[in-house]
Amino acid sequence: MAEKPIVVGITHGDINGIGYEVIIKTLMDARMMEICTPVVYGSSKIATYHRKLVKGSGDLSFNVIAQLEQMSTKKANIINVIDKDVKVNLGVSNDLAGTMSLASLQMATEDLAAGKIDVLVTAPINKHNIHSEAFAFAGHTEYFAKKFNSDNYLMLMIAENLKIGTVTTHCALSDVPKILRKGLIKTKLKALDTTLQQDFMCVKPKIAVLSLNPHAGENGMFGKEEQSQIIPAMKDAFKQGIYTFGPFSADGFFGSGQYTKFDGILAMYHDQAMIPFKILSDGKGVNYTAGLPFIRTSPAHGTAYEIAGKDLASPDAFRNAIYCACDIFRNRKQYLSYIDQNKNENNTPL
């Protein structure tokens, strides 16, 4: 029997950015329907507005549905999160865009939690205009962690031959040393090890850990976090069967190409991971929220207001986000099935 198509929920993100453009360009390829059944949580009217700005999109038409039971497996679907007319202001951040972003996110998240969709791919939001009493979070990652009551989540950036997570995410750089504690590092190492096994089918993954300070602190000369927090966390993790190596000074680690020798990398803070990642991923990278009971990915780029409506946005990262979500869904299903069938008396996974 043929497998049931994976239902991919898609949030439209900031309506004034490039979200709809990359969604439309991705779904213009009819072969996408062979991989999954996409459902955009957005507005058919806004989609039509953006479609007129994308060259060659005339053959794309959405199946407009009021509920998921009406979705088609042969074409892209769109479900309206709001009925009234909405004005698009390309390249502009405003409250309306934030409201629309949140409406899409809330409906899609509810359906994800209810099992009505299999995975969720989120288009970029503006972290400022979406911020409100209903969304008091630094970003998507923290929102989903709270929604699904996960303390063991990890922001994991994915590209070809590169998977890098962060201990701290969206916080001031001055706060990083205060947040960076042994227990938190161990939690992130565990999350990374688990996701590499169950979501990427990696047996006994090798994890590189980056230092916080230059030259890995030079034995305390340039900072003591390596000795007091990072190395003790690594030793504890190793005792638990997590294969950690380092800590490595980030400049030499990436400059020498050493990153290619590991299955996963754990960075200490946001930019330590994102700068090399965005250079090496060449605009095709994916952001994955590991450690959740559900699967959520997104393209590793922002709203790009400066090119909104100009038909210049590349769909590569968004397309990869869909591919990645579907691959993880299949891998996790296979992994959990294997574990269930091969439990030993200690209930120990691979």
Q: What is the pLDDT of residue 341?
A: 76
Does residue 348 or residue 168 have the better pLDDT? Answer: 168
Distance CA(139)–CA(126), nearest Å, equals 9
Among 153, 183, 185, CA closest to 287:
153
0.95 exceeded by the pTM?
Answer: no
At 111 the three-state DSSP class reads helix
Among 83, 64, 84, 80, CA closest to 72:
64
DSSP per-residue codes, 176-228: HHHH--HHHHHHHHHHHHHHHHHTT--SS-EEEEE-SSGGGGGTTTT-SHIII
CA distances from 121 to 81, 96, 312, 317, 318 (A): 16, 21, 21, 11, 8
Q: Write down the CATH number for the domain with range 152-284.
A: 3.40.718.10
* CB 114 within 8 Å of CB 4: no
Among 276, 288, 228, CA closest to 249:
276
Asked, colleague to colleague, whether 1-150+292-350 and 152-284 share their fold, the answer is yes
How much of the chain, in percent, has pLDDT values that exceed 90? 83
DSSP state of 158: E
What's the pLDDT tens digit per position in 272-311?
A: 999 999 999 999 999 999 999 999 999 999 999 999 999 9
Distance CA(289)–CA(272), nearest Å, equals 18
Which residues are 208's β-sheet partners?
245, 265
Q: Where are the domains of the chain?
A: 1-150+292-350, 152-284
Does residue 268 or residue 223 have the better pLDDT? Answer: 268
CATH of 1-150+292-350, one of 3.30.300.90, 3.10.20.90, 3.40.718.10, 2.30.30.60: 3.40.718.10
Distance CA(116)–CA(104), nearest Å, equals 15
Q: What is the pLDDT of residue 347?
A: 55
Distance CA(168)–CA(153), nearest Å, equals 11
Which residues are 207's β-sheet partners?
244, 264
Instruction: Judge residue 27's burial from the number of C-beta atoms within 10 Å of its C-beta, 0-12 exposed, 13-18 middle, 19 or more buried.
Output: buried
What's the chain's average pLDDT?
Answer: 93
Query: ∠296-131-83 over CA atoms, to 5°?
Result: 75
